[in-house]
Amino acid sequence: MLGILGGMGPLAGATFLARLTLLTPAVRDQDHVPCVLWSDPRVPDRTAARLAGGPDPLPFLLRGVRGLETAGCEAVAIPCNTAHGWYDDLAAATRLPILHIVDATAAELRRLGLESGRIGLLGTAGTLAMRLYQERLEPLGYDCLVPEAAEMQTLVSPAIAEVKANRVAAARVPLMDAAARLVARGADAVVLGCTEIPLAISAETDAAELGVPIADSIDALARAALDQVAAMAQPA
């Protein structure tokens, strides 16, 4: 059984479960992955916690992990990039394997045919400030490009807020603008490194407009979860 530590935001967690279902090679109900979605939108804002001294989300995250343990889950996926700033604390507090969304996205880049190169990274200010992607991707041969400060303030951060406010359509134009600016600076691919962003930009349909592949962190995590479940189902 897979545990999903969600609610950050609620739509991203629900979309992760939908994508996990759609990516599963199933022909009947019983072929799908048993899941428990712990969707707790009360988790304090992760970016505010890191950049502005806001309330600590860790107690809420730990409560969610313990709830998933109690429910009988055997692995955990967290469809929130910024929450991975507390990954080490969570991993140390549970016996369950916790998938890392950046490692999953690295696998997605390889699946798209990019073994190395310049990666344009869209994410929250917290994710970028914590260098969650840079620290794990750069040793693999990827050079991460991030939006300029003004682009974060006027395009990316407001667009993420629009998605969280259920105004998804309003987020597409500014996010595509930010992505196109990264491509103009030489990005060979764009990573949607916030799980709100794939709700406004489609890796499948918008890559042609950008002219480069798009790696969706929601789909990447879903594929990693399916691989984890398949590996755990193998006889010892």
The catalytic residue positions are 80, 194
CA distances to 8, 27, 42, 53, 71 from 60, rounded to whole Å, are 11, 37, 8, 16, 17
Residue type present at position 103: D
Cis check: omega of the bond before 9, within 30 degrees of 0 = yes
